[in-house]
Structure formats: structure tokens, C-alpha cells
Chain A
Amino acid sequence: MAGTAKDISVNEIHQGPGDLWVVTTPPVDGTPRLTLASDGTPDSVTHGACVHLGAIQSAITTSVKGKIGLIELDQYDAPFDGFATDLEASIEAEMAQTEAAKLQRALGVGTYATGAGYKHVTFGGTLAVPTPCIAAISQKRISGTKYIVATLFKAAAVGGFQVIFGRAKSSNYKLKFQGFSDLARTAGKQVGIVHETLTDAAGGTPCAKDFSVAEIYQGPGDLWLIDPAPTDAAVRVTLDPTTLTPDSTAHANAKHLGATAGEISFTVTPKIGFIRMDQVDAAVDVFVESLEAKIEAEMNQSEMQKLARALGIGTYLGDGVPPTSWKQVTFGGTDQPPAICIAAIAKKRSDTTKAAVACLYKVQSMGGIDITMSRKKASTYKVSFSGLLDPTRIAGKQIGVFHEMI
């Protein structure tokens, strides 16, 4: 008798970073593998000018999970077979470059615009979900010219984005694309493909990568009440170009909300619904179920008007304007919280003469207030401004905007 050889190969252990691409012209059904140029980027002749999604903060993870339903019989103590009930495939990564077009890509249902001195992405009220082809490409550990490639033929951005204005760490956001079935393709290869190249990549026409460390954001910001709010015609917060604070003409009643104890977080998260049919294991299309936008921070200054604003359902009163003897916030019995416009404004790390702004046109304060009386620590309270949709605005820009000076 002879034994059977084990299949142990250290070379098959993959390790190494990758890049994410939006593939303009997806691989066709007959040749589902992405064609690579000699440098491991998509071949632009075959796949068009693919869009590189920028620097990665941490790993890219491609996950493909089949759900198998087990078929059981009462007479037996174990299932006798299984059947595919569901298939989920996704590519996700933590992204490093905070830039309007990339944030739009992460959100999917954001609307991008640019012009003299600005770029912005607005959101709120968009119905159609973009469904690009997404690919992750990683060089093999054992060879600089061979690659592992994961491709989702049709995918929707489901992770949204986050922008952090803070001193302690750079801003990054989790990008996630969820794949679904392309019924125009052959069964067995309708959602995606993972493949490795065994010969050296050669020829082809490379696509350009989009690395820009200037787009990596870090640094503190400020919270502002913006009044009047930006309009449909002027969607951005108008800034004074010298101080990078709200322009006192355009936003005559703007108020600074005081010192922040830590970072300001701005998140825009879509909930994408998936349409399924019983004939197919994976979803077949997508739709926007809801969109959640928030600005959150921890505040330092426990002044009564600021507390009233943070509480939302608090009522501020002073003994005069300005108050001289006392000021107060009362609470209890207020049913309708006011809606205000809030913006976080921060100087860009790479060019402090320019600012980035996250603005929600209509928010209500959800965080409540805390007043801590302690020898050990200063009193702070967390504010959470939750974006409301304003149906009187134009679809595509009914909740808010992220804009940056360029």
C-alpha cells in the first residue's frame, strides 16, 4: 500500500495589501476574469478607465458566504442533504482619503458637484442606487507580477461614510460594497469571481492609481449653528475666506457651539434594501430603504443656552439680552423640539487656508445633556444631531452636504 501525498504549500498562503477599483467596463460572461495590465492595475483597453478608490487604512476583505439549508427527516438524527438558500458576497475596507468624490462613491446615493474653488456631495432624496462593478487586486506574496483578484460584477455601496474632525487620529471610513446577481450572466457566475494569475502580468494599458496623502484628513473642527441654513440654490455653508467661519452676511444668526472635548463625527449611512426572487440564490436588485445622517461630538461648555440647544426640548431664559443676573434651562412639557441647521467646520490638514464642512440642513438634538459635578473630571455632555429630510428641497440634496474648498 502507498500513502497519499499531503497538499501543503507555503506559497499558497496569501498575505499583502491590495487596491480597490471601480471597473468601468466589467468582465464579460464568457471571460469573467479581470484583465490586468503589466503593473497589476485593470487593463484600460478591456475595462475602460477604471477608478482607483485611493489609499487603504487597513485590510481589504472579500467575503463570500453561502447559506445552506439542511433537509431533515423526523426518523433520523441528522440532516440527509442541504440546499443553497442564500448567497452573500461583499468587499469592504477602511479608506483613508477624505475627498468629496470618494465619499460619494462610498455613499452611492450622494450627488456630486464641483465648480470654482469647491467640491461637494449632497445627500437625501435619491432613489436610484448605482451598481458598479468592484474589484480588489492584491499582489501575490511570492511574486511581484502575479495577483489575486476578487470581482463583484454588480455591487451597491452599503456602508456610507464617516468624516472625523479631531486632533487624535486621522479620518477614515469603512467602505463596503455588497454584490448581487446579474441575471444577464450564466448561472454559477452571476455574482462574482475570485481568481489568481499564474503567469506574469504583461502588456495591457494600466489604469492610474489615485493616491493623494493631501486627502488624508486630520485636525480639530468646530460645531456651528447655521442660521439661515443653506438653500437649494446655495447648498454650501458660505465661509469667510480669512477666518473660515460662517459668513456673517449669508448666515447672520450663526452661533458657535463652544469647545469640544474630542472629535466631531459626521456619518451618513444608507440602508440599502435587496430585492430577492426565489429562483435565484442571491439578491437581484437594490433600493434605498432609508438614509441616516448624524453629527456627534462631546461638548465642554455647560452654559445654559448651549445646554438648552443640546437638550432640544429644553427652554432657555435669561434675565435680559445679554443676561446679567441669571440664565436657565427648564424642561418638561415641551412636545415639539426645534429643528436647526448644524455644521462642523474644520481646516484641512494639508492646507489650513482651506476648510472642509459637514452640514445637516435640518436636525433635531437627540443626545440629551449631562452635568457632572466632580473633583476628578470636568463636566461634558454628548450632542447628537440627527438629520431630518426636508421635502421642500430638491431631491438629491434634502438632508445635507459635505463640501471642501479646493
Chain B
Amino acid sequence: MYRVVLPVEIDGVVYNFGQVVELDLERAALYAHALITVEGENGGDSEGH
């Protein structure tokens, strides 16, 4: 799970700042500058990619 820190469009869907999106690792790497990982269900941030 990744939290959006900069808006991204993935497969035609726009995800805005603060939204959480589920992506595979390969896809997330393409948007690394705009996402940070969200650990578990508590939503605690860990280091980004």
C-alpha cells in the first residue's frame, strides 16, 4: 500500500495527495517520487522508495 504525496495517474485513474493506492512493486517503482509506503493497516509511514 502506498500513500500518494504527489498526484499520479495510473491506468487512467487520478490519485490525489493523501489517497492510498495498492500497487505491485514494479509499478510503484515507476512512481517512486510520488509515493511513500504505508505499513500495515495502521497506516504508519515507513521510508519511501
Contact = CB atoms under 8 A, between A and B. Distances in A.
Do most interface residues of chain A lie in helix, strand or loop, or is the interface mixed? loop
Contacts of B48: 24-25, 48-51
A44 interface: yes
Given A24-B48, A126-B16, A129-B17, A51 B33 contact: yes
Interface string B8-21: 11101010111000
Nearest to A119: B30
A377 to B, nearest CB: 45
Contacts of A132: 5
Interface residues of A, number: 32
B17 A397 contact: no
Nearest to A125: B14
Contact of B9 (A108, A122, A127, A129): A122
Contact of A112 (B31, B46, B49): B31
Given A112-B34, A126-B16, A130-B17, A44 B47 contact: yes
A168 interface: no
B6 A114 contact: no
B17 A128 contact: yes
Contacts of A111: 7-9, 14
Interface residues of B, number: 22
Nearest to A394: B14
Contacts of A206: none
B38 interface: no
B31 A104 contact: no
Interface string A98-130: 000100110011111110000000100011111
B45 interface: yes
Nearest to B15: A111
A122 B32 CA distance: 17
A184 interface: no
Contacts of A126: 7, 16
B16 A396 contact: yes
Contacts of B16: 126-128, 396
23 contacts: A22-B33, A24-B47, A24-B48, A44-B47, A45-B47, A48-B45, A49-B47, A49-B49, A51-B48, A104-B33, A105-B6, A110-B6, A111-B7, A111-B8, A112-B6, A112-B33, A114-B30, A126-B16, A128-B16, A130-B6, A130-B7, A396-B7, A396-B9
Interface of B: 5-10, 12, 14, 16-18, 30-34, 36, 45-49
Given A112-B7, A114-B30, 14 more contacts: A24-B48, A49-B48, A49-B49, A101-B34, A104-B7, A105-B6, A105-B33, A109-B7, A111-B14, A126-B7, A126-B16, A233-B12, A396-B16, A397-B9
